[in-house]
Copies of this chain bind each other. A is one copy, B any other.
Amino acid sequence: MAKGEVVSNKQVILRHYAKGFPKETDLKVSTGTIHLKVPEGSNAVVVKNLYLSCDPYMPSCMQEDNSIGMPSFTPGSAINGYGVAKVLDSGHPDFKEGDLIWGMIGWEEYSLITTPETFFKIEHTDVPLSYYTGLLGMAGMTAYGGFFEVCSPKEGESVFISAASGAVGQLVGQFAKLMGCYVVGSVGSKEKVDLLKNKLGFNEAFNYKEEHDLDAALKRYFPEGIDIYFENVGGKMLDAALHNMRLHGRIAICGMISQYSLDQPEGVDLMCLVHKRTRMEGFVVTDYFHLYSKFLDMLLPSIREGKIVYVEDIAEGLESGPSAILGLFNGSNVGKKLVKVACE
């Protein structure tokens, strides 16, 4: 394909708003066309999409009234999410053909982007480009902002992470280890337990599906309690963590994946916050985007030296998109889930 051509454009489309928790069949893959040229006089860019991030907030955006505070997708149009793309044509002075960028893109082969200034330009390509959907993108910034800014960690503290092999959790654990913390993760399979202990350097890990009593599990790994809980799942796990916090502990709420598919949130014993003087705080990654260059300065050398590793679970092609997104909710992914749309 060449600049200026009209080409076919495969897309992942939201058929209609989902009734109840979304299913793969609420999405469809279909093919339209796109003109690979920026309209005359516009400062838009046309991009080729390379990698798409699968994130737990996305199914909620397939519902008309979502409770997660993100705009819903538009029925009949391509869904969107964080991803990596390559500029094919640019009407914007800051972007030129061949630039690599990451930000909010459509789930389609090519996109016309009318707000390119909201994207980050990718300057470092000696690391895998797919990392900009996760480790060096939204998930990485989520781990960075949530752990360092919200949790105020101190050397030697005890850190618990749920969904600990996921896009964010695996990185929080490694950040905590670099800080000299004791780190335990919970995950949903033996394979993921091995990953945490043998590849990601966690002190301990357990499979929550094998624990009949989450409170007892946490007491086993944290006999003196938890200083920091990095919360990704909510519900029963949050309740167990609340009962095992040390005095003046901190809970950073990143997400609550166990709750998104429920009509009513599960009750947790919030009086624990009082007994242990716990601070629980929600955060949103975009609040920390101004720290992105500081984040890269810290992270890139650690990646190059092998001190930080990242596990990805890559689905090939847009056709695999619907199952990749919904698969996050049955834990079938191992590591950061993403879709590879095309080679650079």
Contacts and interface: CB of A to CB of B under 8 A. Distances in A.
A278 B283 CA distance: 8
Interface stretch (A118-126, A170-178, A261-269): A261-269
A342 interface: no
A147 to B, nearest CB: 15
A274 B282 contact: yes
Instruction: Identify whether the interface residues of A are mostly helix, strand, loop, or mixed.
Output: loop
Contacts of A254: 274
A270 B284 contact: no
A270 B68 CA distance: 10
B271 A277 contact: no
Interface in A115-152: none
A268 B279 CA distance: 17
Given A267-B267, A268-B265, A270-B256, A282 B287 contact: no
A281 B280 contact: yes
B267 A266 contact: yes
Nearest to A68: B271
B277 A283 contact: yes
B234 A270 contact: yes
Contacts of A67: 269, 271
A167 to B, nearest CB: 16
B253 A68 contact: no
A255 B274 contact: yes
A244 to B, nearest CB: 14
Interface in A242-276: 253-256, 259, 264-276
Given A259-B271, A265-B270, A270-B265, A281 B279 contact: yes
A69 interface: yes
B275 A265 contact: no
A281 B287 contact: no
Contacts of A238: 270
B284 A277 contact: yes
B284 A271 contact: no
B234 A275 contact: no
A92 to B, nearest CB: 30
A280 B271 CA distance: 12
B283 A274 contact: yes
Contacts of A255: 271, 274
A280 to B, nearest CB: 5
Interface of A: 67-69, 234, 238, 253-256, 259, 264-284, 287
7 contacts: A68-B275, A253-B271, A253-B274, A259-B271, A265-B269, A265-B270, A274-B282
Given A274-B284, A279-B279, 7 more contacts: A67-B269, A255-B271, A255-B274, A275-B282, A275-B284, A277-B282, A277-B287
